[in-house]
Chain A
Amino acid sequence: MVDCNELKQAMADEDEDKVIEIVNAYMAENGQTGEGSDEVLAALQDGMTEVGDLFDKGEYFVGDLMFAGEIMTESMGILKPAIAKGAGDSQTSGKLIFCTVKNDLHDIGKNIVKAMMEAGGLEVIDLGVDAEPQTIIDEIKKNDVHVLALSGVLTLAIDSMKDTVNALAAAGIRDDVKVLIGGAPVTAEYCRFTGADDWSLNPAHSVDICRNWFAELSNNAAA
């Protein structure tokens, strides 16, 4: 079995070659059975958490998050067959829909936050860019999702965010879905304007907001 501490550290250091080497070594040894894929996945996720911490401390910046996301995606691509064996499907702590809103095609920020969310154990249904409110509503209903994250870079995206929130209300599901907005133009003022529940410009903060919402949902369900 590979050294998961070494893997975690390599991920935190964004040492792409080492991460891929360790993941490949794991697959060569255990890929057929999937045994131990939980630990490998957890090591990668812990490494990503460390990346998020370094971002919060100001040592890493947005490009580092982007690169970490790429290493994570690359690693997951390699690990997929092992995870599919069922040995590595660790429990996710919540499922959300994430997209860039209608009339906006920017996805770099969305993809960074998505990678952080997935590394944080959340399941993300990614609707891509230029997402129509009706498509979002259909997917929310289809997947029984209660958290929606909307991203946008253009000032134009603010109106689309507001339209999406209004569409949730018109569809009668606004009270069932928490809405988070994020992206370059987003401010507290725009959060109020769009009617979203919260806003964020920080990937790690976005993950925390969603996790808190899932914890609330879980508590409400238990009560």
Chain B
Amino acid sequence: MSATKLTKEEAAKLLDYRRNLIVNTVRMKDTDRIPWIFSDGPWDAHDAGYTIEQEINDPHILLESVLYNQREYDFDSHMTPTQRNPMWIAQPFGQSTSGYKIDDETGMLHVDDVAHVYPEHYDIFLENPTKFWWSCFMATKYPNLKAMKPSDLREVFRRQNVQQQVHAETFERLGNEYGVPGLFYKAQFASPFVEQAFDWFRGIKGTTQDLHRIPDKMEECAKLYHEVYNKPALEAVKKHQLPNDPMRTVDLTTTMLSQTFMNRKQIEKYLWPYYEEFFNAVVEADATMLIFSEGSIKPYWPYLKNIPAGHVFIHLEQDDIYESVEALPNIVFGGGMSTSLLGRGTPDECAARAEQLINDLKGHIILSEDKIMTYPEDARPENLKAVTEVVHASARK
């Protein structure tokens, strides 16, 4: 089953339908069916006949892969259609030395747990965050940066521009040709400092060491980061200053991963107070929020119980979706379709699972894969198609 080509009017109508479907689901309002969204990753390149190397080195191939994917499986939206490591931009900076390993023969994709900054750099952050990013983070992550000739730098920025243009084209074409809205396209982004350190610049091991060795310094950095980077985003949400874009379905987005390594005391000191502010801002503005989570988010369950219904959508990775809905009925969860089933099960098994989820959890979930789709084994095309059929057939006539 492939999606048929739509006229401009049909695409606009479908875009409106799908956007309302997702928005109303997050709002926990009645809808005629469950949305079905794709948790994009390099799987789409494999499926469209490309390699990961090709996809991360040419944004046009990423665009083609995403559109191919949409034609084949007719999703209601894509989680991260443009978010792949843009290696072709970073390579002139010396990025290739920073622990990325890609082997298309085996399908292996790996990023080492690398620290791009060190404890002594936190004082520079506290003094001048911009200086920290350029003279500590960028200088370590991109070792060629300082010695680059202006012409090489211009080439980097040219590539960056191309990448951004193709990304904009991706959303434009998904909307105008396929009637598919984005999720957090042009939404605000906020994140606690420690989460960012863990995910992006200090690494799992480094952040863990710092939380044990220099807890006060980490707290100081967390507070400053929140003031400088999160508060403007939250103010924009509160004042409804987001760009009016038909492709956006939520107003604020964040990620959750570092809870998988942190104990309760650390979560209560370094993470939850900031997430709580995010939630408060969203509720105060009667806005919506998408959380892309990795690992289990159970450490947050006690805090998430108090969030009012109709504001938060959490895409799950590891937690059971039935258990999550039961524990947190005010939150809409994404997931339910495991890559173990999609990759190894039969179309009938996948259809049965989707049908069961629709019957049991409609109004509380957005159907999706439980991981960033990465390896060829993460899904069989016929299994994704079987799920799409079940989802579409379930729509109220």
Contact = CB atoms under 8 A, between A and B. Distances in A.
A62 B110 contact: no
Given A155-B339, A155-B371, A189-B340, A61 B263 contact: yes
Interface stretch (B132-140, B207-215, B237-245, B278-286): B207-215
A108 B208 CA distance: 12
Contacts of B86: none
Given A66-B208, A66-B261, A187-B340, A16 B213 contact: yes
A103 interface: yes
A61 B107 contact: no
Given A58-B264, A59-B264, A155 B212 contact: no
Contact of B108 (A58, A61, A156): A156
A213 interface: no
A63 interface: yes
Interface stretch (B165-173, B176-184, B246-254, B372-380): B372-380
Size range of the chain A interface in the assembly: 20 to 34
A154 interface: yes
Given A108-B113, A108-B204, A156-B375, A63 B263 contact: yes
A66 B213 CA distance: 13
Interface string B264-306: 1010000000000000000000000000000100010000000
Interface in A1-53: 14, 16
Size range of the chain B interface in the assembly: 20 to 34
B295 A105 contact: no
B106 interface: yes
B143 interface: no
A105 B103 CA distance: 12
A54 to B, nearest CB: 9
Contact of B261 (A16, A62, A105, A158): A62
Contacts of B378: 155
A105 B99 CA distance: 11
Interface string A94-129: 000000000111101000000000000000000000
B85 interface: no
B318 interface: yes
A61 B106 contact: no
A67 B208 contact: yes
Nearest to A111: B205
Contact of A59 (B208, B213, B263, B371): B263
Contacts of A103: 103, 106-108
A1 B270 CA distance: 40
B225 to A, nearest CB: 19
A189 B340 CA distance: 9
Nearest to A59: B263
A159 B377 contact: yes
A61 B375 contact: no
Contact of B212 (A16, A156, A185, A189): A16
B318 A63 contact: no
B104 to A, nearest CB: 12
Given A16-B213, A61-B262, A66-B261, A108 B375 contact: no
A154 B375 contact: yes
Nearest to A129: B110
Given A63-B263, A67-B209, 14 more contacts: A16-B212, A63-B207, A63-B261, A64-B212, A67-B212, A103-B103, A103-B107, A104-B110, A105-B101, A105-B112, A106-B110, A108-B113, A184-B318, A193-B344
Interface of B: 101, 103, 106-108, 110, 112-113, 204-205, 207-209, 211-213, 260-264, 266, 295, 299, 318, 339-340, 343-344, 371, 374-375, 377-378
CB-CB nearest 7 A-B residue pairs: A63-B261, A63-B208, A61-B263, A105-B110, A62-B261, A103-B108, A103-B106
Interface of A: 14, 16, 58-64, 66-67, 70, 103-106, 108, 154-156, 158-159, 184-185, 187, 189-190, 193
28 contacts: A14-B212, A59-B264, A61-B261, A61-B262, A62-B260, A63-B207, A63-B211, A63-B266, A64-B212, A66-B204, A66-B205, A66-B208, A67-B208, A70-B209, A103-B103, A104-B110, A105-B108, A105-B110, A108-B113, A155-B374, A155-B378, A156-B107, A156-B108, A156-B377, A159-B377, A184-B318, A187-B340, A189-B340
